[in-house]
Amino acid sequence: MLDVSDLSVSYGTIRAVRGISFTLGKGELVSLLGANGAGKSSTLKCIAGALKASGGSITLGGKDITSASPEQVVRAGLATVPETRDVFPDLTVAENLMLGAYIHRRDQAGNRQNLERLHTLFPRLAERSHQPAGTLSGGEQQMLVIARALMSRPTVLLLDEPSLGLAPAIVERIFEMIETLKKSGLTILLVEQNVNQALAVADRAYVMRLGTVVTSGTPDEIRATSDLSAHYLGG
Ligand code: ATP
């Protein structure tokens, strides 16, 4: 579904991502792990079209999206939830959601149907439909940005640190929701510092360190790598 091959990303002379390769099969949930500064967010931003690759290639469903713009990437079927969790605070929850349907703006019936599906998945958002998004709690805002990304009807979803800064009970709910999305057939790339939880939901994982992939495998294989927590995950 998603193939990242020998991808490099640089900020001037800083080489944040140094020739990494990984794949996501259809319906797979793959976690990208690693300590702060390992290059996870840069990888996601590059896939999303927000950063230019300095080398390598990215294909989505066989289509080359290496140099695609953010809008072209969304149209190709890939949506991203950045770690910044930015909602439009003065717009209502419903208005925020409709912005996610931008590429389908002529298909009102399809958008309504998708919105109903998302309201079932996120009942809290349905209850708060007419409330300004800025008044939602952190957890609710995280739900909103995920639901907004799903309004573009992606086949692949990239999630950057969805649990960041949230209370444990909320984190639990977010991970339950990620599992529900996986069961619905969505292909998901999950960037997380919350290693145990990320491995609990993943089919496979890749561990990054200083811009390279140092380990990959099933959650059991990753857990069995004894020096993982000490060297790559910050203890
Ligand atoms: P974190 O979890 O802290 O976001 P990360 O694994 O996602 O970590 P990146 O944010 O991709 O890592 O950062 C990788 C490297 O690129 C780091 O050395 C970082 O300082 C550098 N970097 C990130 N963004 C920029 C930028 N806009 N300008 C210059 N260097 C940057």
Nearest residue CA, atom 29 of ligand 1? 11
Q: What is the pLDDT of residues 159-172, one digit of tens each?
A: 999 998 888 888 99
Give, as one character, the DSSP assignment of residue 229: H
The pick from 17, 42, 212 for probing ligand 1's pocket by mutation, whose C-beta has the most ligand atoms within 8 angstroms, reads 42
**E strand or H helix that includes residue 174:** helix 168-183
Question: 11 CA to middle of ligand 1, Å?
Answer: 9
Quick one: tokens of 97? 């959601």
- Is 90 exceeded by the pLDDT of residue 234? no
Nearest ligand 1 atom to the CA of 208 is: 6
Q: Which of 199, 195, 190 is nearest to 220 (CA)?
A: 199
Q: What is the pLDDT of residues 83-128, one digit of tens each?
A: 888 899 999 999 999 999 989 989 999 999 999 999 999 999 999 9
Question: 159 CA to middle of ligand 1, Å?
Answer: 16
Phi-psi region at 161: left, alpha or beta (left = phi > 0; alpha = psi -120 to 50): left
Question: 41 CA to middle of ligand 1, Å?
Answer: 7
Model's pTM, two decimal places?
Answer: 0.92
CA pair distance 166, 139, nearest whole angstrom: 6
Nearest residue CA, atom 31 of ligand 1? 11
- Is 60 exceeded by the pLDDT of residue 221? yes
State the pLDDT at residue 235: 45
CA pair distance 102, 106, nearest whole angstrom: 9
State the pLDDT at residue 232: 56
> Measured in whole angstroms, how far is the alpha carbon of residue 179 from the centre of its chain?
13
Share of the chain above pLDDT 70, in %: 96
Pocket of ligand 1 (CB under 6 A): 11, 14, 16, 34, 36-42
Q: What is the pLDDT of residues 35-90, one digit of tens each?
A: 888 999 999 999 999 999 999 999 999 999 999 999 999 999 999 999 888 899 99
For the chain, list the domains and their CATH numbers: 2-233 (3.40.50.300)
C-alpha to C-alpha distances, 85 to 80, 142, 160, nearest whole angstrom: 11, 6, 9
Nearest residue CA, atom 21 of ligand 1? 16
Give, as one character, the DSSP assignment of residue 187: E
